[in-house]
Amino acid sequence: MRKLSEYLSHFFIYHYLKLAFRVVLFVSALVLYIVSRVEGSELPFGEIGAHPVFWAFWWICLAAGMILRLFPSKLETIGCQKQLKRNYVPISDEKPSLTSWRATFTLTVCWIALNLVFGVLYFTDVFDAGILMLISFAYGICDIVCILFFCPIRDWFLKNKCCADCRIYNWDYAMMFTPFIFIPHPYTWSLLGMSLVLLVVWEVMYKLYPERFAKNTNGSLACQNCKEQPCRHKKRIQRILKSGKEKLAKLSWWKQK
């Protein structure tokens, strides 16, 4: 039997807590939004929109997460810290094997196009600021789902093997806050600005030190050196889901008899 620590490592505890926080944030905002619309409030999230303490807490939590990314941290995975010199373990003089720029470009265009659609819907009054905020909160949930369970960006666009060598790991906050570009407010634009700083730092390091981002040149990204092993966790979840489907199928077959 596997040790409990293999299932409850600091990596998974941290990310499950982040997932729980973002789910609570989204559900709370969704309920507040629905209530405010039923009551005919002019504020997207009802009276709570007038209380700065709630939004200040929300802003601090998200800003702290981005600041944490700029410095070495035991909480964060190697995937978002491979640009740091301390995490570079040279193993080869080969040319770094990096994700195709075409794949990255295609993903970028698709992401911009998707959010431009939301922008158009906002400026034509189909969506309001509350809907854009909810979309951003939903993006935050999807971000953690990609790490813990299933990542369509990896499987459909970038084709990288795992999170450790993900080309756009530190793009996550910028992608999460993309809808904020349409919502001029100190909280929204400051978070968007911080996320863009994080993205620019990542891209500069990628340009200057590409060897730190490739598995064939950076030993810290090798599977045998991976402490988090998110791939193994995803496969375990997939096995559990597959087993559950098989049991449901057998149960359905038995009832039909």
pLDDT of residue 4: 45
Confidence of residue 249 (pLDDT cuts 50, 70, 90): low
Task: Write down the mean pLDDT value for the chain.
Answer: 87
How is 23-68 classified by DSSP, letter by letter? Answer: HHHHHHHHHHHHHHHHTT-SSTTGGGGG-HHHHHHHHHHHHHHHHH
What burial class does residue 62 get, using C-beta atoms within 10 Å of its C-beta: 0-12 exposed, 13-18 middle, 19+ buried?
buried
pLDDT of residue 214: 95
Count of domains in the chain?
1
Query: Which residues span the domain enclosing 81?
Result: 4-256
The model's pLDDT over 174-232, given as tens digits with 9 standing for 90+, comes to: 999 999 999 998 889 999 999 999 999 999 999 999 999 999 999 999 888 877 777 77
The model's pLDDT over 151-182, given as tens digits with 9 standing for 90+, comes to: 999 999 999 888 889 999 999 999 999 999 99
Residue type at 105?
A: F
pLDDT of residue 86: 94
CA–CA separation, 88 and 12 (whole Å): 23
pTM for the model: 0.89
